[in-house]
Amino acid sequence: MRRTRLAGALTAVLALALVATGCGGATADGSGNGSGGEPSGTGVSAAARDRVEPLADPVAPRLPVTVPSADGRRVAVTSADRIVPLSGSLNEIVFTLGLGPKVVARDITATFEQAAKLPVVTRAHDVSAESVLSLRPTVVLAESTTGPAEAVAQIRDAGIPLVVVKPAKTLADVRTRIDAVAAALGVPDSGAALGKRTQDRIDAVRKGIPAREEKPRVAFLYVRGSAAVYLLGGAESGASSLLEAAGAVDAGKESGLVKDFTPITSEALAKAAPDAILVMSKGLASVGGVDGLAEIPGVAETPAGADRRVVTVDDGVLLNYGPRTDQVLKSLVDQLYGAGK
């Protein structure tokens, strides 16, 4: 089963949540002191959330190239003049490779400053083929979870090179994913440079994690109050690798939840017994902050609920496993261990 359950098994849930909330992607990170409905830590900084950092010396694409696609095809790419990435994560990688000026569309979750004014052609992995084709792309980048299948087929049938990239499952996949995008766009050297930069920054964060005899237990909750969606993450939620890299225990996974998400119950939370709760910033806002989160059955009875230990990371970057993953990891570490306070 794939890591990207927010894009697979939860696609319908996300679509419902986006309709109910009227938007998707990033919101304010909600920093505070753990009282008055605010989380106990601070999320990814505004600078990290709003901008990506392109390579200092990007190179021009060397095309044509023929590359493997994650759907088993081989795709010939002859031009990268008009790029359409069909997910926020892919938008982020393309912009960070230095090819932002060639991008002509975005997913609704690509909320960083450089992409914010581009037209939206995907919402919660729901692609508008007509919108994509109207932009006359020369290459389209998709996830293996991008859909509906009919829309993807319509784009391909129009003769547009469409390269499918596997979703990242863990931190170990970050460089592979960057390399795949860079290869498809004819900039393998930029991919190697970005992959090294990203890995070096992740390694630097991990070196600064304080040693603890007892690792904090963290439960990842996916909540959308306006859509009445309240889920507890398990082994396949996508958060486990980040939490473990931050020196924590994924409480849902450790309690025996082998799937992606399960409905939140008092019993499931009691078994997970988290010391802290990880939630996306938009999800936290949708339930009314920490005060509202504590009203979800079972939350207040956990050690995390009793201590009001809530860790937030912006929706648009938490599970991207891309060039800003070091910032996500640092935010988790700072909030869990109080760094910089």
Q: Tell me, what's the pLDDT at 48? A: 44
Order of all β-strands in the sheet with 83-85: 83-85, 139-143, 162-165
pLDDT of residue 21: 33
**Which residues does residue 143 pair with via DSSP β-bridges, in sequence order?**
165
What pLDDT does residue 252 have? 97
Report angle CA 306, 38, 295 to the nearest 5 degrees. 50
How long is the chain? 341
Q: What is the pLDDT of residues 62-117, one digit of tens each?
A: 999 999 999 999 999 999 999 999 999 999 999 999 999 999 999 998 989 999 99
The one-letter code for the residue type at 240 is S
Q: Which of 7-21, 85-99, 185-199, 302-316 is predicted least confidently?
A: 7-21
Residue 257 in this model has a pLDDT that exceeds 60: yes
pLDDT(40) > 90:
no
| pLDDT for 326 beyond 60 | yes
Beta strands in 154-295 (DSSP E): 162-165, 217-224, 229-233, 249-250, 261-263, 276-280
Structure tokens at 317: 């970057």
- At residue 265, what are phi and psi to the nearest 5 degrees? -135, 160
User: Does residue 13 surpass a pLDDT of 50?
Assistant: no
Yes or no: say if 192 and 179 are a contact pair by the CB < 8 Å rule.
Answer: yes
DSSP, res 118: S
Say what the pLDDT of residue 124 is. 64
The model's pTM = 0.84
